[in-house]
Structure 1
């Protein structure tokens, strides 16, 4: 898990005037105060701190409270991706795709059945998951939905795999619905209509930009899967001849389009995102390393219209191709050797 995510424990304690120094060793405090918020630490260290603090404070509901108060500072890029989505349903799907950004401690998906929807919490390791980790994650998910939609009245039924605690009132207070223990799955269940709720900070352009950042972080941590490398190579080869449809790529790989979509999704990728990334990288290379006109660059990227390329480039970078080329050329010149 990341330091930023783990530091939510200290944030909660200090916000409630609880002396963290009396609960933890200097080494533990140093671990959660690292200057690099994206540094990855062992989950077991954090679980030990959370559980020991809960016992020392005689506060069994501490994991729920920590999760309830966790914000964008702790969740980072994953939170900003969700906030910029158009609807809660879209935010859940994006969260599922990029969950590994905050650590390898949870998986999630979205299921619908009749008039209800559910989001399971999936432990990605062997053995029994720590109870406190499940509690934190479930609280984070509902609290994020409330904050991102501006709807503090949202409620859900909560299911937990661990046995019922002596006092379940904190769970009912947190989730607002019925709470079940000893369940087959740990999950949140809520009205399906919630999925169409608008996000108060929805911004499609921002979502695309931040999603790109999120994918870059995932790629850096996990390495690019061979499947994605193959798709990138085929797209790069097909740019100038506009052979970049998913149907063409799937046929070249001798699999069905549906199979390719499913396999990419399993790795957390979408075909259109890969295509945009390939085009963006190639466009920047051509703009910076050649004197080509924009119409020529657009043609080599497979665009039939220069305007389509210009609109796409601005979506990728926030700048027009002309402005980007001028800015990068000046910066490159300024970074040359000095005497």
Structure 2
């Protein structure tokens, strides 16, 4: 199940202040209001989004994610925060986040993407852009900015641009004031653009020896986490779910995965895969599996694998498997010969 660290939940509730019933909110997601914050304690992502939407129904939440993000400190993140602080440069700091984010969330992935001499630090969070998810994304980007300011030499880190995929709120002056740069909504990414100078600047407490020690510790923690699906596997899952409505477009699949088309294309290419090939392989695997189940007619299998006509499915399947769907089904369901 998709989950996030309870640290974010507690921070959001605390930042909301006296306008909400903090104890009731925490109890609603299974947290003890009197317990000490522990980043390793997780909360279901859907419950977290529900909680944020409850808060937004009780107070004006426009600035809530910005104030929450601004309150975050490296020490809040435990060993990961220390590794962020001890990295030699800001690029090294964000690289730690990319590698070890699974220690505090199973719903968000991070990426460093070069753009000329500059670099994008992007988060990828799948799902519909419901209010709770949007507030969470804003808080995540705000916290990424806050801890970058904490480790910088002069504490004055400023992104070149900030982008969000969700629609523009009525007021953005607070966003522009917090980030200190242009803020774009309705974008193709949730990310901050960082200058070459900023990302290569030495951190004020960078220490290579401490970094190596902390990374060994984090690698051990990471190895204990249950295997999560690769991007190829997650992309196949999205394609398979969408096929009954026709072959999905790459932009729709990318949106469902919480990333831009460009990022999806590049990451698949890094694995030697194209979206078209992945789609064809998914359709073939799904068709072969469905044909082995005689509860589905061949016409139904054609529909469930994205074909509007059975004749088109027959031609495609013969190209994939070298035989017609009917002959493939017969061969797969033929009783085994007696020994």
TM-score normalized with structure 1 length: 0.60
Partner of 1:194: 198
2:6 and 2:45 map into 1 onto residues whose CA distance is 10
Change (3 A) 1:26 1:158: closer
Find the aligned partners of 1:96 and 1:168 in 2 and give their Cα distance. 28
Matched, 1:212 2:216: yes
Q: Decide whether the 8 Å contact of 2:74 with 2:84 is kept in 1.
A: no
Alignment partner, residue 167 of structure 1: 171
Q: How does 1:315-334 map to 2 (within 5 A)?
A: none
Q: Does 1:222 align with 2:238?
A: no
1:100-119, Cα deviation, whole Å (9 max, x unpaired): 11111321111222332211
CA distance 1:133–1:32, shift in 2 (3 Å)? farther
- Which residue of the partner structure matches residue 187 of structure 2? 183
Q: Which residue of 1 aligns with 2:9?
A: 6
Q: Is the 8 A contact 2:165 2:186 kept in 1?
A: yes
Within 5 A, what are the aligned runs for 1:3-152? 3-13=6-16, 18=18, 20-21=20-21, 24-25=24-25, 27-28=27-28, 31=31, 33=33, 34-35=35-36, 37=38, 38-123=40-125, 125-128=126-129, 130-152=133-155
- Between the aligned partners of 2:186 and 2:49, the Cα distance in structure 1 is 21
- Give distance in 2, aligned partners of 1:26 and 1:128: 23
Contact 2:75 2:82 in 1 (8 A): no
Q: Which range moved further: 33-42 or 84-93?
A: 33-42
Closer, same or farther: CA 221–189 of 1 in aligned 2, 3 Å: same
Does the 8 Å contact 2:89/2:202 carry over to 1? yes
The number of aligned residues is 223
C-alpha distance in structure 2 between counterparts of 1:147 and 1:72, whole Å? 8
Deviation at 1:71, TM superposition (A): 1.8
Root-mean-square deviation (CA, aligned residues, Å) is: 2.6
- The structure-2 alpha-carbon separation of the partners of 1:19 and 1:58, relative to structure 1 and needing over 3 Å to count, comes to closer
SS of 2:225's partner is: helix
Partner of 1:155: 158
Cα drift, residue 84 of structure 1: 0.8
Q: 2 CA distance for matches of 1:85 and 1:174?
A: 25
Structure 2 CA distance, aligned partners of 1:139 and 1:102? Answer: 17
**Displacement after TM superposition at 1:164 (Å):** 0.8
Q: TM-score, with normalisation over the residues of structure 2?
A: 0.60
Tell which deviates more after alignment, 84-93 or 106-115. Answer: 106-115
In structure 2, distance between residues paired with 1:35 and 1:44: 23
Distance in 1, Cα, partners of 2:184 & 2:57:
23
Structure 1 spans left out of the alignment, 5+ residues: 226-261, 264-339
Contact 2:26 2:32 in 1 (8 A): no
Residue 22 of structure 1, CA deviation: 5.9
Between the aligned partners of 2:127 and 2:12, the Cα distance in structure 1 is 25
CA contact (8 A) 1:149 1:200 kept: yes
Partners of 1:32 and 1:70 lie apart in 2 by: 21
Q: For each residue in 1:255-282, what CA deviation from the matched residue of structure 2 results, as whole angstroms up to 9, or x when unmatched?
A: xxxxxxx88xxxxxxxxxxxxxxxxxxx
CA-to-aligned-CA distance 1:120-147 (integer Å, 9 cap, x gap): 1111x34446101110111011111110
